[in-house]
Structure 1
Amino acid sequence: MSTNVLSFDNPLFGKFAFSSGVVLGKTLLMSALTVRSRLTNKVFANPEDTAKFGGVEPTVSDQRVERIRRCHQNDIENVFSFVLVGSFYLVTDPDPWFATLLFRTFVLSRCLHTVCYLAPLPQPSRFVTCLTGWGVTALMTVAVIRAGSF
């Protein structure tokens, strides 16, 4: 195993960093989309926002805003686990082909999950895409646990 596993000298780390960057960037984009939807629809959760930007009453029940916000929340629940566990996974000296497959599968599943959520597409499309990404993180978690010792 290379002594610089968590370095761009390691091609697998580069693939992981790219994959992490894409899904973290997508997560940031979801936050911006929530703000845009709130401003466009004049739907705010806090009285000071309503006073400053307009709107009738503070609310957290507007379905246009809440759909984007729930998609963002799902990213937060899944993407950060992937990035953290994936960092540990790299240290287990995984098979590069399989690790690359996992990273790409996760990115694709999260991007498709967003499309399924925001379109919205009928279930079980969103469930399958979310479960796929979760499964990738679960596989990496098992590898990390197996490589570690107590």
Structure 2
Amino acid sequence: MADFMKSEVFLAFSTYASVMLVKMLIMGPLTGYFRMSRGAFSNPEDARAHGGTDEESKKKLMTTNPDVERVRRCHQNDLENIIPFIGISLLYTLTEPNLSTALMHFRIFAASRILHSIAYLVPLPQPSRGLCWLVGLGTTFSMVYRVLKAGMRL
């Protein structure tokens, strides 16, 4: 096992998985920033802490904001795609793929998710966001195919 963890493919996986996790972690504070700057809170205690001392002012602060909701949907999409990528790509590394092929998968996925977030948050016209999502999903399924193919040989 120690040799596996020293392999170049595993190190590449670790790097790109870390980049994707950091990207996903950034979305939480970004949501908080948008909530603060737009004055749109979802919890009564947050509204109260930011000037919602009476019912009327609290009601004004407890609203949805399109910018906050856009960041939240982007974050939700990350959760739905990055977490499966990490699990699948870890299994993929166990199939001992060629380093250049593994790097291609990891880089394409990472680029597609970063571009997806840019397309979501800017926002860019469709189909840019959809294409980025589709490329990332296709990359993940390519690794699934390799894992299943390797498993069928057992």
Tell whether the structures are fold-level matches, with TM greater than 0.5.
yes
**Paired residues of 2:38 and 2:65 also in contact (CA < 8 A):** no
Query: Match of 1:54, SS?
Result: coil
- The reply to whether residue 84 of structure 1 matches residue 83 of structure 2 is no
The residue number in structure 1 matching 2:57 is: none
User: Which AA in structure 2 matches 1:63?
Assistant: P
The CA distance in 2 between the partners of 1:132 and 1:25, in whole Å, is 20
- The reply to whether residue 104 of structure 1 matches residue 101 of structure 2 is no
The residue number in structure 2 matching 1:58 is: 62
The residue number in structure 1 matching 2:147 is: 144
The CA distance in 2 between the partners of 1:90 and 1:97, in whole Å, is 12
User: Which AA in structure 1 matches 2:39?
Assistant: K
**Paired residues of 2:39 and 2:61 also in contact (CA < 8 A):** no
Q: 1:52 to 1:139 in 2, by over 3 A?
A: same
- The reply to whether residue 45 of structure 1 matches residue 42 of structure 2 is yes
Using structure 1 for the length normalisation, give the TM-score: 0.91
The C-alpha deviation readout for 1:31-77, integer Å capped at 9, x for no partner, is: 11001111111111111211122352423x31010011111111111
The residue number in structure 2 matching 1:120 is: 123
- The reply to whether residue 24 of structure 1 matches residue 28 of structure 2 is no
The CA distance in 1 between the partners of 2:93 and 2:86, in whole Å, is 11
Aligned length: 146
Q: Deviation of residue 3 (structure 1)?
A: 6.6
Higher share in helix: 2
Query: Match of 2:126, SS?
Result: coil
What value does the CA root-mean-square deviation take over the aligned residues?
A: 1.7
Using structure 2 for the length normalisation, give the TM-score: 0.88
- The reply to whether residue 131 of structure 1 matches residue 134 of structure 2 is yes
Structure 1 runs of 4+ with >3 Å offset? none
The CA distance in 1 between the partners of 2:79 and 2:40, in whole Å, is 22
User: Which AA in structure 2 matches 1:58?
Assistant: M
The CA distance in 2 between the partners of 1:63 and 1:104, in whole Å, is 31
Percent identity between matched residues is 40
Q: Specify the structure having the higher radius of gyration (Cα).
A: 2
The CA distance in 1 between the partners of 2:30 and 2:67, in whole Å, is 11
The CA distance in 1 between the partners of 2:144 and 2:29, in whole Å, is 30
